Amino acid sequence: MSRLRLYLGIAFAAPVTLLTGLFYLLPFWALGWYTYLGRHSAPTDKSPLGTGWVWVLVPEKAPAFLIKYWERWGGHCVGSTVVLKRDSNTGLTLNHELHHVHQMHKLGFFQPILYALSSFISSVAGEKAYADNTFEIAARRAAGQVADAESFAQGCLVCKTRAKK
C-alpha cells in the first residue's frame, strides 16, 4: 500500500478512530482491561488488509460484564483500531479485523453507517444480520475463512460427492 493511500485512509477513518480511542480504548487501557500490542500491517502492498493499531483483552483484570461480552467474539474493529480477545498476531481473526480496517480506510466514517444498514437489510430479508452482512462476508474471504453458509454447504456437498467416487 502506498504511503499516501495509507495516510489518506487513516485520515478518512480518523473521526471514528479518535472517538474510539478517547472514550473506549484509553479508559479501558487505564483500568488495565486492555493492553496495546502495536501497529500491524497487511503482509503485502496488494493485500486487502489495512494497517491498524491492535489491542488485546486482559481477562485477569477485566470485569465480568466485559468477559461476558467477549464470549461470542474473537475481535472487533472500530476505525483504525482492532481489539482482540487473545494475542494472536498472525491469526485469522487479526486478518479478518484488519480487513475491516481496510474498509474503514476506504469508506471512512460512512463505514459504520453502511455496516449497520447491511445488517438491517439482511435482517429484514430474513437472513442473519451478522453472518450475512456484506462487510463480514468480505472480511471472512480476505482472511481465508468460510465466507458464507451457502459456500460452505456447497463445498461440503462437493467434498461428499468426490468422496463417493
**pLDDT tens, N- to C-terminus, the chain (165 residues):** 578 888 888 899 999 999 999 999 999 999 999 999 998 886 655 566 778 999 999 999 999 999 999 998 899 999 999 999 987 655 888 989 999 999 999 999 899 999 999 999 999 999 999 999 999 999 999 888 886 656 555 544 444 444 455
Q: Measure the CA–CA gap between 48 and 138, rounded to whole angstroms.
A: 10
pTM: 0.82
Contacts of 107 (CB under 8 A, 6+ apart): 12, 114
Print the domain residue range for 152. 3-164
Helical segments of 24-91, H only: 26-30, 64-70
User: How many Cβ atoms sit within 10 Å of the Cβ of residue 9?
Assistant: 22
Overall number of domains in the chain: 1
Q: What integer pLDDT is reported at residue 143 of this predicted model?
A: 87
Q: What integer pLDDT is reported at residue 160 of this predicted model?
A: 45
Q: How much of the chain is helix, strand and coil, in % rounded to 5?
A: 55, 15, 30
Q: What integer pLDDT is reported at residue 106 of this predicted model?
A: 92
Amino acid at 84: L
Instruction: Mark 133-163 as b/e (b = at least 16 C-beta within 10 Å).
Output: bebbbbbbbbbeeebbeeeeeeeeeeeeeee
